[in-house]
Amino acid sequence: MLPHTISEIISGLRDKQFSSREITQDYLARIKRLNPELNCFITVTEDLALSQAEQADARLNAGQTSVLNGVPLAHKDVFCTEGVTTTCGSRMLEKFVPPYESTVTRKFIDAGAVTLGKTNMDEFAMGSSNENSYFGPVRNPWDTERAPGGSSGGSAAAVAAGLCAAATGTDTGGSIRQPAAFCGLTGLKPTYGRVSRLGMVAFASSLDQGGPFARTAEDAALLLNVMAGHDPMDSTSALNPTEDYTSALAQPLAGVTIGLPKEYFSNQLNAEVEKALQEAIKVYESLGASFKEVSLPHTELSVPAYYVIAPAECSTNLSRFDGVRYGHRCENPKDLEDLYQRSRSEGFGDEVKRRILIGTYALSAGYYDAYYRQAQKIRRLIKNDFVSALNEVDALLCPTTPDVAFRLGEKTSDPVQMYLEDIFTIPASLAGLPALGLPCGFKGGLPVGMQLIGNYFTEARLLNLGHQYQLNTDWHKRSPALGE
C-alpha cells in the first residue's frame, strides 16, 4: 500500500521503511495498471524517474537532505521539461521537445523530487472538463463516466487515483481549484506572480498561475515552499519575499474572521453542496473562527468579462504557432497562406479555435472599446469588491463549483453552460488573489469542494485555515475504490 501523503513518504524514506527507487517502482506499476482507463498521463518518464530515484537514495545514504528528496511527483504537460516532450495537450505541440527546463520543474529537480511524467490537460489549458485534449479525455477516478475537471484534470485524477504523491497544475480561471473539487483534493492557486511562469506555455498571460495539487494542506505547503519565489527571468514574477508556508499551519483560529460572500450562496448552488459548506462553517466555528456576511456585487459579471479577456490574450499568445516559427506544419502546402491556414487548422482543436476567434474579434478595430476595454473595467470593479471585503475579514469561504463532477459529454454541446462551471473560481482569478480548494463532503459518492480566498500573498493563512480544518475532518483521507 502506497503512503497517503508527501509527509508520510518523507518520514518513510528518512526511517528507511522503503527507498525512493522502491516507492517510485510502485507508482510506475500503478500507472501502468490504471492509466489505460483513466488517461491521466500523456508521457511517463520511467527511465528518468528511476534514475532520479537512485540519485535521491544515494543522497539520502550520504546524509544529504533536501526538501522533497526522493518524492515522486507528476507535472502538468504545460510546463517545459528539458529533453521530455511537452505537448500542452495539443496536436500543435505533439512533437515538441523543449531545450530548457521551466523554473517550476527546475526547482522540484533541485529539491530532489522524482518526475514520474507529464499529465493530460485540456488543450493549451482551455477547458473545464479535460475533454478538450488531443490525447483524449481524462476520467474521474471517483466515477470513470464523469469529468475530473479541467484544465488540470490529468494532474488531479493522477493524485486522487494514487498514481503520484502530488502534482503541479495551472489555474487561469479555476483550473486547479475546480479539478481539486471534482477529485477530492487540496489545490492551491497562489497570488498572481507568486510562482514563476517561465517555461509555462502561455494561455492568458495576465491570469495564468502555477500551483500544487496534494492530498492535504500540509503537503500543499511543502510544495509551495519549493515553487514560490521571485524569478528574475519572469517579468511578471512578484518581488515580495516568500516565507516558510509550513510554519503557520499549527496557528490556532481563535479570533479569525471569515467572510461569506452572499452572491456565492445563490440559487445556482446545489442544495447538497450548500449543506456541506454549512457543515464546514460549523467546524470552523468550533475552532474559534467567526463569520460575517460580505458582498461582492460584481460577481455575476465575472464570467462574461473573463471570456473576453482570456480569449483576447490567447489569440495573441497562440499567434506564434503558425507552422513556421513554432508548432505543427501541414504537409505539402501550396503557398504561404495555405501553410498558415492548414497548419493552424490541423494543429488546434475546436475549443482553442473558438477562443482564438472570440479573442481576435474582441481585439479588432471597432470592437476593442466595446468589448475588451469594458471587460478590463469590470475586472477592476471585481478587484475593488475583493479589496473592500478583505479589509473586513481575514479570508472568504465559498463554494468552488455549483455542483459535483458532471458526466463526460454532458456539457460539451453547450459552451456557455461549460463556462458557467467556473463562476465561483473566475472572480479570484481576475483579481489575482490566492485561493485554496479542499474537500468538505460528498454528494452521491462524489467529492464536494469548498474554496478559501485570501488577500494578496496570504497563502500561509489559507494553508493554516485548510490544515486546521483537515485536522478536524476526514474528507481528505478518502480515496476512490478503483476496483481494489
Catalytic positions: 76, 151, 175
Q: How far apart are CA 379 and CA 436, in angstroms?
A: 21
Cell of 425: 473560481
Nearest residue to 293 (alpha-carbon basis) of 194, 434, 392 = 392
Tell how strand 435-443 and strand 41-44 pair up: unpaired
**Other Cβ atoms within 10 Å of 129 Cβ, number:** 29
Contact criterion met (CB below 8 Å) for 400 and 438 = no
**Other Cβ atoms within 10 Å of 232 Cβ, number:** 9
Q: How far apart are CA 391 and CA 465, in angstroms?
A: 18
Q: In what order do the strands lie in the sheet with 435-443?
A: 41-44, 114-119, 72-76, 166-171, 209-214, 186-189, 435-443, 446-454, 395-399, 257-261, 290-294
Contact criterion met (CB below 8 Å) for 148 and 158 = no
Cell of 121: 490537460
**What three-state secondary structure class fits 347?**
helix
Q: How far apart are CA 277 and CA 454, in angstroms?
A: 17
The per-residue DSSP string of 324-340 comes to: SSSS---SS-SSHHHHH
Q: How far apart are CA 308 and CA 318, in angstroms?
A: 16
